[in-house]
Structure 1
Amino acid sequence: MHVSEAVEARRSIRAFRPDPVPAAVVRTLLEQAARAPSGGNLQPWRVHAVAGAALADLLARVRQAGFDPSPAYDIYPADLWEPYRTRRFETGEALYDAIAIPRTDKAGRMRQLARNAEFFGAPVGIFVSVDRRMGPPQWSDLGMYIQTLMLLAVEHGLATCPQEFWALYARTVATVLDLPDDQMLFCGVALGYRDDDAPINTLRTTRAPFADWGRMIGFPD
């Protein structure tokens, strides 16, 4: 598989089959993804992959705990501005349209939101954390690790969904995983086999045209 094919095929999957992913495959993905670049080769990521009874126990404790009233960071800036506000709104509407939940069905939308806290049924939950003393450059390094992991998963016939949603449960996750105080949970990543029969997996988000965000300077015509 070419890298361009993996980039085109990757999407955020929100319904998984329960089939387990072999531990050797998960370990290979995590280790290969560590070839991702990082400034100064700091490799600031810390990664926990959880499955089986341990994952079931973690999710049960999350259900009991509820949202963290003071997450370590804001998932989105306050008062999101254009064009970002519209992009977020349109993506949300497209997601709920895919599963026929109208805007008036608040309870239905909340049930779907709660699926985040179940890793959408994925058999593997991956948690990525970073030392609290690190700054935005190291956060970008985490992004490169996670993107590399997701593309490698495609090559292995697996699906993923990156979830900053887990910042809302950071304290509970940190307790269950026994993270040291200096580690801040950044996100989770659902990993497993895509459920091809689930309508929500038909969603493919759009991308803004190059003219909206890119420039080519100094190139010959």
Structure 2
Amino acid sequence: MNPNDPIDPTAPPTTAETALVDAAITGRRSIRAFQPTPVPRAAVEDILRVASRAPSGTNLQPWQVHVLTGAALARLSDRILAIYADPAELARHEREYDYYPKEWTSPYLERRRKVGWDLYGLLGIAKSDRAGMHAQHGRNYRFFDAPVGLIFTMDRILQVGSWLDYGMFLQNIMVAARARGLDTCPQAAFTQFHRVIAEELGLGPEQMVICGMALGYADPSAPENALVTERAPVSEFARFYDE
């Protein structure tokens, strides 16, 4: 079957097709160490083409994608890391929007702490090792050594509905990448450096940085890539109504 052929939406999927889709979804993990193996531009374009089938209200398609490789990726990383290493300069860079709540409550606080300590435990970083945590967080800005870095932006005039649409687009990218043997890590960490990103990529003032994403082939020898985060059972987050 040619992947560009039109799909008959009325044809029931086979068991094998269902298994492949499920495997691409459940096999997706946030990978934090990549091999240097290049990803062909055609593969990135193919992933983005498939992902663009994400739904969006009245077909607004709010996503704008900036694909960085080679010198362009290194240049952005170097600029951000120079700021990250300077506490006084770092304090001048604030996130453009709040990704996390200002006050943490249960069960979100416990989940956040657990994934953090699970990751640091794999890396041998103790709870008292603030420098180690800072250094590990800084690896975000190298896209965890992935050969492809993606920066996502959106027009500022768009509203909350387009953020929902954007999330579906991002998920499509990650699932389409996994289906091709590639891995990803979505990265809200880049939002703190939206001014630097705008300068480096020549973004207009109407463009808002949503997040970044690393794309490439996972390094199977990296201990951090052994992290598999837990998910609550369906019974914990879903309610069913039948009368």
Aligned equivalent of 2:10: none
Partners of 2:189 and 2:141 lie apart in 1 by 8
Q: Structure 2: which 5+ residue stretches go unaligned? A: 1-16, 85-89
SS at match of 2:97: coil
Aligned equivalent of 1:96: 120
The percent identity for this pair of structures is 44
Partners of 2:217 and 2:75 lie apart in 1 by 21
Partners of 1:133 and 1:73 lie apart in 2 by 15
Aligned equivalent of 2:66: 48
Higher Cα Rg, which structure: 2
2:203 maps to 1:179: yes
Does structure 2 conserve the Cα–Cα contact (< 8 Å) formed by 1:65 and 1:172?
no
CA positional deviation for 1:73: 0.3
Aligned equivalent of 1:16: 34
Does structure 1 conserve the Cα–Cα contact (< 8 Å) formed by 2:81 and 2:138?
no
2:159 maps to 1:135: yes
Aligned equivalent of 2:11: none
Aligned equivalent of 2:100: 76
After superposing on structure 2, the runs of 4+ consecutive aligned residues of structure 1 that deviate more than 3 Å are 65-68
Which segment is superposed worse, 143-152 or 24-33? Answer: 24-33
CA positional deviation for 1:98: 1.2
Partners of 1:81 and 1:138 lie apart in 2 by 27
Report the TM-score, using the length of structure 1 for normalisation.
Answer: 0.96
CA positional deviation for 1:39: 1.0
Does structure 1 conserve the Cα–Cα contact (< 8 Å) formed by 2:33 and 2:145?
yes
Task: Give the number of aligned pairs.
Answer: 219
Q: What residue identity is the alignment partner of 1:58? A: L
Aligned equivalent of 1:27: 45
Partners of 2:241 and 2:130 lie apart in 1 by 47
CA positional deviation for 1:70: 2.6
Residue by residue over 1:63-89, the C-alpha shift from the partner in whole angstroms, topping out at 9 and shown as x without a partner, is 223445332101201012111111111
Match of 1:6 among 18, 24, 28: 24
Alignment RMSD (CA, Å) = 1.2
Does structure 1 conserve the Cα–Cα contact (< 8 Å) formed by 2:93 and 2:193?
no
Partners of 1:8 and 1:71 lie apart in 2 by 30
CA positional deviation for 1:116: 0.8
